[in-house]
Structure 1
Amino acid sequence: MKTPVHTAIEPGILYFGTPVVLISSTNEDGSPNLAPMSSAFWLGWRAVLGLGARSKTARNLRRTGECVLNLPSDALAPAVDRLALTTGSDPVPPGKQERGYFHVADKFGRAGLTPVPSETVAPPRVAECPVAMEAVVSAVHPVADEDPAQRGGILAFEVRVQRVFVHDSIRLPGSDDHIDPDAWRPLIMSFQKLYGLGPQVHPSTLARIPERLYRGPDIDRAREIAPVR
């Protein structure tokens, strides 16, 4: 079998495929903002979110320290796409103006999604999203801070999850706290295009490790915030 050969290229972006997140946050006037993004990953009950420093969401997170990470299913792709090229910032930042963004105050209305009250933070959850995680900001890290041309433009927010809500349709039958990977169909963004998740392609050796062995102290800390209803 011939060994594949690599070719050096310089793509403008390196978004090889990550789940879409709808981040809800609170504006200065108390109204909710809702923004789609896909630069996110999780470690235990922590998440790291990559955001433009001048975005409305980044400014809301720095001011309030709260957000909700709503994960849409692939069925919600049309709703997510209705938020494309919209911003809660008014006036629209120059960089976004250049890319064709325009201001929308009512993001929930624009997307056709329903806000529902959260339990531990002020921003609302998205009712239609199968997963919603209430979170607080633990730290803010500058990205590319060593480069004068990029300094101050990108921030990585470390957030701590305080509550996880899911639709019963994606819970593993017979389990209280497990997600059924075969029922959960996340919306994936890959190189600016929206995709669904296909079936499992191979048995996973890591799946043999019981999930309880990954449970960290943040779960107990979350219980102290407010009792789970």
Structure 2
Amino acid sequence: MLSGQVFLTRQAQSLSLGWLEVLVYPGSLAFSWEGVGISLTLSALLYGFQPLRMVLFALCYGQLLNRILKLVFQRQRPIPPEDVKRIFRTIILTDAHADGASFPSGDTMAGSVTGASLALAGCGTGWWFLGLYVGFGRVYFLAHHWLDVIAGYAEGCAVSLLAAKVIRMHESFDVRQLIGLLVASVGFGMAMKLTKRIYSGPAKSSHVLLLLVGLGLLFVAPTI
């Protein structure tokens, strides 16, 4: 007997929206590594730097937590049914890739962080639904189980609430501190990614070098 989440995932995969996929497709791409820059730029143009500051701060928390959870759970991606076809396609990373683990959904987390942060910054309560829109797109385009996107949405909301509290406690939080935090986040992400690659297969010299760069960024960040 199929578990409830697998059943719900297959129900979503079996949907056929036809050309209405064009309404869902942006949610599957907007917060991937290819689309997140565009999404954040649009947020800045619409609402200015202050809300974007909260978004970026929360994304740092979210990325660190998401990376750790992916490495801990190592859940495989859903197997797409052979009879399911999509008009549009999205990149689905394999389980062997450092970002390929399915749980929790990183794209949904990023969408949830962005939406929740904008809502908490006073840009409109409707932004809370952004993560759900992204999550549905990730399931519909065969990239995740439902539980992956639910966890990603919850993670994004939680870190956004934490980031909002930290920023309100430290109103003097400035751009320099934000840059330091971003450097630390990038360094930590590189270190986690390259550690997995080194242990999961033959290590290349470039992997070791990038791992050292990531660790170096972690040491440099506090001095910024």
TM surpasses 0.5: no
Structure number having the greater helix percentage: 2
TM-score by length of 1: 0.29
Structure number having the greater strand percentage: 1
TM-score by length of 2: 0.30
